[in-house]
Amino acid sequence: MTPLDITGMTCESCAAHIKHALEQVPGVRSAEVSYAEGSARVALDAGLSPDALITAVTGLGYRAKLADTLPKQAQRAFLGLERKPVGRATAASHSAGGLHIAILGSGGAAMAAALKATENGAHVTLVERGTLGGTCVNVGCVPSKILIRAAHIAQLRRVSPFDAGVPPASPTILRGRLLEQQQRRVEELRQAKYESVLASNPAITVLLGEARFRDGHSLTVRLNAGGEQLVAFDRCLIATGARAAVPPVPGLEGTPYWTSTEALASEAIPSRLAVIGSSVVAVELAQAFARLGSRVTLLARSTLLFREDPAIGEALTAAFRAEGIEVLEHTEASRVTHRDGKFVLTIPSGERRAERLLIATGRTPNTRDLALEAAGIAIYAHGPIRIDPGMRTRAQDIYAAGDCTDQPQFVYVAAAAGTRAAINMTGGNATLHLTTLPRVIFTDPQVAMVGLNGQQAHHSGIETDSRTLTLDNVPRALVNFDTRGFIKMVAEAGTGRLLGVQAVAPEAGELIQTAALAIHHRMTVSDLSSQLFPYLTMVEGLKLAAQTFSKDVKQLSCCAG
């Protein structure tokens, strides 16, 4: 008999499920599986590798390895797998590593929480219904930034400020090869940063399936491989992310419209693309597809990036129109039809036709199918889970983090929230502060913001003083022959304390963290203007913007201190 150690079982039905899977392996004569001991004994034909047994078990979402020679009780104590009764863990059980945490999802919040929880001695069962890695690495940040970068290179080959000395050449776009390159990098990062990390951590058990709450301390997981598994937990983190929201435009349902997921996986560049939306995903992908060869029409219900300082939307709209992107502000489609392979959008001024239609009107939390009511978890009317600053839901012992809550939908916010949730689930007391959250939109020029804009400060009752520095005053922009954009600083009137920075500039994302640190450390514009900044860098624009509060920078020498 070949002995196996198996981790991840939570009930007798798990053992029965594993027994059935083992007995389906060719060459296995019989199998005995014990939930109580976390073990299996398998009779197999000579020549059958034990690897086949391990593969059969791990394929169900459990973990298995050949048993060593330690007595079973000693093995389980060594591995920290002694199970507690269902319910809240005591401080003593936590210090002994007996806390069991269930995590729903495998994206930024889930992974950060799982790793921090195991660092703190807990055992984690992570449940993922789809592809490991969540939105960012699979269908969000990573593939979109690859597409955007490829489009940027195509644009530079087509036109640049140096065309007189470096003649342009119209690029040939081989979308299939770009897609292959994109997907290879996605798969590499998913393997390196998610799959391998999970597989190498013995305190994490991965279940592939869809979870629903039975009550405040247990889940039912419908396994992708078939069957169901009960997961009892002491604490639980919901980190199920969000999906594209689709507006109720008459005629849209049932048409082959794109969300960002389909757009990023498209095998061809459409000749004409219509985009409905005006926020981050809409503007990033609209410009990328335009630069790769699509004729793009962007329909904005209000203005581009209307939630930001109005100057940002104005600058981006001007940049888009200069590239030939049609931006229709204050425009909504009253109807969408699809016939003969074309979309027809009815708008107040008439109609717009397109080969493809991209819907980019925001994202909605993945909370609908979790049976949250069974655990007493409260949500807002539009779907996000209600949490406090420590990521606690209304249900005791259940936490939530990331895009399934009302937190800002950035992967680094989700990861920070997941880490803090894990600290709190394992006996700590951590909160997430977002007052100096830096944000970047990867258009060209880029958009970057941190802290308060003037309107937000006014609503908070703060009197402000602000200055706007156009990029024709920044030496780096001048030598690049690209002075599109500005850097705007908002300071507290009287004290000069920096409150916020908004920038529209090439590589604005590379300067915004400096502004975030300045705000975090309560620096004044005078403090910032006296710092040393390297000459001919875009971040030097922050120093120059700070100097405008007390000087006319046009009257300074190139690098005057």
Q: How is the beta sheet containing 63-66 ordered, strand by strand?
A: 28-34, 39-44, 2-7, 63-66
Do the Cβ atoms of 87 and 234 come closer than 8 Å? yes
pLDDT in tens, 519-539: 999 999 999 999 999 999 999
Sign of the alpha-carbon dihedral angle for 474, 480, 481, 487: negative
Give the pLDDT mean for 507-524.
97
Q: Is 448 helix (H, G, I), strand (E, B) or coil?
A: strand
Residues in CB range of 300: below 8 A, 6 or more apart: 277, 278, 282, 306, 327, 328, 329, 330, 331
Give CA separation, 118 vs 93, 204, 492, 537, in Å. Answer: 14, 8, 43, 42
Nearest to residue 128, comparing CAs of 155, 159, 103?
Answer: 103
Active site annotation includes 136 = yes
- Per annotation, catalytic residue among 136, 236, 523, 538: 136
| Rounded percentage of the chain residues whose pLDDT exceeds 90 | 82
Active site annotation includes 9 = yes
pLDDT for res 27: 86
pLDDT for res 77: 31
How far is residue 133's CA from residue 191's CA, in Å, rounded to a whole number?
9
Give the DSSP H/E element, type plus range, for residue 157. helix 141-158
Active site annotation includes 62 = yes
- Per annotation, catalytic residue among 62, 194, 257, 399: 62
- Per annotation, catalytic residue among 1, 141, 425, 523: 141
pLDDT at residue 459 is higher than 60: yes
pLDDT at residue 328 is higher than 60: yes
- Per annotation, catalytic residue among 9, 236, 449, 538: 9
pLDDT for res 59: 66
Active site annotation includes 404 = no
Give the pLDDT mean for 135-163.
97
- Per annotation, catalytic residue among 1, 380, 535, 559: 559
- Ordered DSSP codes for 180-197: HHHHHHHHHHHIIIIIHH
* 51: exposed, middle or buried (Cβ count in 10 Å: 0-12, 13-18, 19+): exposed
How far is residue 545's CA from residue 469's CA, in Å, rounded to a whole number?
6
Q: Is 408 helix (H, G, I), strand (E, B) or coil?
A: coil
pLDDT at residue 70 is higher than 50: no
Neighbour tally for 330: CB within 10 Å:
11
Which tokens sit at 256? 């082959």
pLDDT in tens, 415-453: 999 999 999 999 999 999 999 999 999 999 999 999 999
Domains by residue range for the chain, with CATH? 2-79 (3.30.70.100), 91-134+185-243+365-425 (3.50.50.60), 260-361 (3.50.50.60), 439-555 (3.30.390.30)
Give the pLDDT mean for 86-113.
71
pLDDT at residue 87 is higher than 50: no
Dihedrals φ, ψ of 267, to 5°?
-90, -5
Model confidence at 13, pLDDT cuts 50, 70, 90, reads: low
Active site annotation includes 194 = no
